[in-house]
Amino acid sequence: MQQTGTERVKRGMAEMQKGGVIMDVVNAEQAKVAEAAGAVAVMALERVPSDIRAAGGVARACDPRIVEEVVDAVSIPVMAKCRIGHITEARVLESLGVDYIDESEVLTPADEVFHLKKDDYTVPFVCGCRNIGEAARRIGEGASMLRTKGEPGTGNIVEAVRHMRMVNQEVRQISVMSDDELMTEAKNQGAPYDVLKEIKMLGKLPVVNFAAGGVATPQDAALMMELGADGVFVGSGVFKSENPEKFAKAIVEATTHYQDYELIGRLAKELGSAMTGIDISQLSLEERMQERGW
Amino acid sequence: MVMKIGILALQGAVREHARLVEACGHEAVPIKRVEELKHIDGLILPGGESTTMRRLMDRYGFTEVLRQSSLPMFGTCAGLILLAENVTDQTCGHLGKLDITVARNSFGRQVDSFEAQLDVRGIDEKAEAVFIRAPHIVSAGSGVEILSETAGKTVAVRSERHLGISFHPELTDSTVFHQYFIDMVASLAAETIR
């Protein structure tokens, strides 16, 4: 008998993406550039985060026509974003044959109280997290993959670094806690006890955790791998750079060989300028996408 | 004798393979550079994205060296695609190690990915198999033995030196396929000594 949509099949799909780079694309042409550069998947969306930031208003899931166009253009997996808590956007993306859905704070939340109950779906989900509480709650809801929230569309890596360090530090703390300490930790974090128990038993998260939100240079991608990321999402970084094709290839190579500093230096030398960055302190609390979701 | 089993570590599920090689009592060696191939007895090509792996293999000189190499190899999913002589939607194969033609994504997209219990020739117990956007073997040449099928599609084959399967034993706790490969490596090594 063949069983689809099992936890192993959904988490396993993300395991296959490890050590790779997932790139935001807004059309078929960009998707082909990403595939040719060696991306392990593409994320279809209507506007990259820096443009969402600039445009303001409500950011929704991608037009199904763009999703279809991208699905037809490449043989690597296609991911797409839906708004936090938007059951129907998620179901529509699932019906379009998308391989992974990102329930993403980059889009305007549809529900400020409830995230999706993700284990109801056959398609797997990835979600953002800043700490072990958010990570464990998303896993508890059925997320099969995690990523740092970072601060999308800023070209500033500081928040992704903060979130990756925080989660890894908390995982290490949990792995040496006694069972009674674990229950108190679950209460303090608002995290499901069972998920924390699983983290303790494994000594690591039960799903892969990628870096996302502010990766703008090959050095940024390599830094996140150094800090323990399983792979990297690049949003605005690639197609907002001077030479997207070269840039995409450089990010892929820097992610694979993140400790080969000579190689990364060589790659960086050949690139034009990266996207312009934004200092996080210039963003008000309302402008910070990472504050969305809980 | 403890065998050194390399795992191509450019992208994909490297750690999972290492865990099972070690569970069999042998040494797992992640391979990121061509020079590192000299020190191993067999090589695993892990699951991941075959397009991505091929690009990185070309860039770091693996493709040519592995085409010439006589190392025993074991490919899972994307690794099977790399081993094949022909790939249906491409003009030529990657490493051309197994005389087979494979089709990519033959069971559908991710929502169609599945788990199944398989009968495998040469392995006594039922094998747990996790298929993720998996390829299948469309046809096999005369020197290739078919080891398993599901839903009418061939999903596991071997030749004298190469083992290729469509699915991911590395996502389970079962070591049967890794043990099978390591036995292959050991008997080939014994022959060379003789």
d(CA B126, CA A55): 56
Q: Do residues A118 and A103 lie in contact, with contact meaning Cβ atoms separated by under 8 Å?
A: yes
How many Å apart are CA A233 and CA A157, to the nearest integer? 12
In the three-class reduction of DSSP (H, G, I as helix; E, B as strand; rest coil), residue B162 is classed as strand
| Whole-complex ipTM | 0.93
**Which residues pair with residue A103 across a beta bridge?**
A82, A127
Q: Which residues of A are annotated as a binding site?
A: 24, 153, 165, 214, 235-236
Distance from CA of B194 to the nearest CA of A (A): 39
| Nearest residue in chain B measured CA to CA from A260 | B32
Both structure tokens of A228: 């323990």
Amino acid B42: pLDDT = 98
Cβ within 8 Å, pair B111-A97? yes
The DSSP bridge pattern shows strands B114-120 and A3-4 to be antiparallel
Domain ranges of chain A: 7-268
pLDDT at A1 over 80: no
What CATH architecture applies to the domain A7-268?
A: Alpha-Beta Barrel (3.20)
Output the CA–CA distances (angstroms, integers) from residue B122 to B21, B83, B107, B176, in the order listed: 19, 21, 25, 10
User: In this complex, do A3 and B116 lie within 8 Å of one another by their Cβ atoms?
Assistant: yes
Asked whether residue A86 carries a pLDDT value surpassing 90, the answer given is yes
CA angle A118, A124, A130 (to 5 degrees): 70
Residue A241: pLDDT over 90: no
What pLDDT score does A240 carry? Answer: 87
Integer Cα distance of B79 and A59 in angstroms:
39
Summarised one tens digit per residue, pLDDT across range B98-139 is 999 999 999 999 999 999 999 999 999 999 999 999 999 999
- In the residue annotation, A246 being an active-site residue is answered as no
Does B85 contact A at CB distance below 8 Å? Answer: no
CB < 8 Å to A123, chain B: 110-111
Q: Rounded to whole angstroms, how far apart are CA atoms A128 and A119? A: 16
d(Cα B47, Cα A179) in Å, to the nearest integer? 36
8 Å CB contact between A90 and B76: no
> At CA A219, angle to CA A216 and CA A222, rounded to 5?
110
Cα–Cα distance measured from residue A128 to residue A293, given in angstroms and rounded to the nearest whole number:
9
Q: What is the pLDDT of residue A163?
A: 98
pLDDT score recorded for residue A148:
97
Predicted confidence (pLDDT) at residue B17 exceeds the cutoff of 90: yes
- Asked if the model's pLDDT at residue B191 lies above 90, the reply is no
Of the residues B77, B85, B94, B136, only one is catalytic, namely B77
What was the pLDDT predicted at A57?
87
CA atoms within 13 A on the CB side of A152: 30
Quote the pLDDT of residue A272.
Answer: 78
Q: How confident is the model at residue B92 (pLDDT cuts 50, 70, 90)?
A: confident
Instruction: Write down the pLDDT at residue B80.
Output: 97
Residue B38 is classified by DSSP as G
| pTM for the predicted model, two decimal places | 0.95
